[in-house]
Structure 1
Amino acid sequence: MNLSFRFFQLPSPLWQPAIGLRYEVFVVEQKVPEDLEVDALDDTAHHLLVQDGDRNCVGVMRIVVKGNVGKIGRVAVAREYRRQGVGAAMMEKALAYCRSLELESVALDSQTYITAFYERLGFVREGEEFMDAGIPHVHMSLSLAS
């Protein structure tokens, strides 16, 4: 599969395809309220856009950096590209990017149905399940220390 991975910050022409996929996955598919999908964190986050060989947006995520910790969020893969390794490839690129920023660890709030995916990447569950936008989540983290 011929994919390109591009990190960017706002403002960027890559924002429109990225937010389009986020809207499709979170607002349309998962029924997240539209006013919760985009927030002020997008303005300073590091965003990842994944495109196929035809330049279609097939995956997105953001990394919010606070001190020496990165928080990965808004991870979405286009429906027709799921279960093909796109999410794992995105996470590998994101973790390498976080290491390049010299972050000590990364965290994320995983929807509970997909925690096993993140556990396979080395993330560890922390705390109890909680609700976010009406969807069950669990906090997870991964140390980037060598």
Structure 2
Amino acid sequence: MSEIHVRIADWQKDNADLRRIREAVFIAEQSVAPELEWDGEDADAVHFLAFERDYAIGTARLLTDGHIGRVSVLKDWRGLRVGDRLLQAAIAEAERRGLKRQMLTAQVHATAFYERHGFKIVSSEFLEAGIPHVDMLRESD
């Protein structure tokens, strides 16, 4: 496998890649309704794209209040630490912007992944888009 790299994406210029990945992961695989996936927050968010060479394989976004979300990696690239690279990029950008608290809503099966990056569960389990989730928080020094 060649080197994976992550960069900040442009919602307008990179829209096709961002949509292709999120539609494959959330809408096709996890049956999230399109109207829940496309929530109106994207225009103001900082987006990240992970690439293998020049092919986009993963995405994440950071909202202006420090919420990280829409972390998604195409099936064939899972288990290769692509999600780690995306999350690290989002955390670094949040900290660069002075956002000392990063929050996210995690699918329950993925909580250990986020805990490895310093997030702690701060809510009871709840359903979102029919999938069990918890809220998680990370506080920077």
- Shorter-chain TM range is over 0.9
Shift of 1:8: 3.1
Number of residue-to-residue matches in the alignment: 140
Please, what is the CA RMSD of the aligned residues? Answer: 1.1
TM-score (norm 2): 0.94
Identity across matched positions, percent: 34
The aligned runs of 1:85-124 (5 Å cut-off) are: 85-124=81-120
- Corresponding residue for residue 6 of structure 1: 7
Cα distance in 2 for residues equivalent to 1:51 and 1:18: 11
CA contact (8 A) 2:27 2:37 kept: yes
SS across alignment from 2:123: strand
Cα distance in 1 for residues equivalent to 2:107 and 2:73: 14
Cα distance in 2 for residues equivalent to 1:9 and 1:108: 21
CA contact (8 A) 1:9 1:45 kept: no
Matched, 1:22 2:18: no
Cα distance in 1 for residues equivalent to 2:46 and 2:37: 16
CA contact (8 A) 1:64 1:72 kept: yes
Cα distance in 1 for residues equivalent to 2:90 and 2:45: 13
The aligned runs of 1:62-77 (5 Å cut-off) are: 62-66=61-65, 70-77=66-73
TM-score (norm 1): 0.91
Shift of 1:57: 1.2
CA contact (8 A) 1:9 1:44 kept: no
SS across alignment from 1:128: coil
* Structure 1 runs (4+) greater than 3 angstroms displaced: none
User: What are structure 1's unaligned runs of at least 5 residues?
Assistant: none
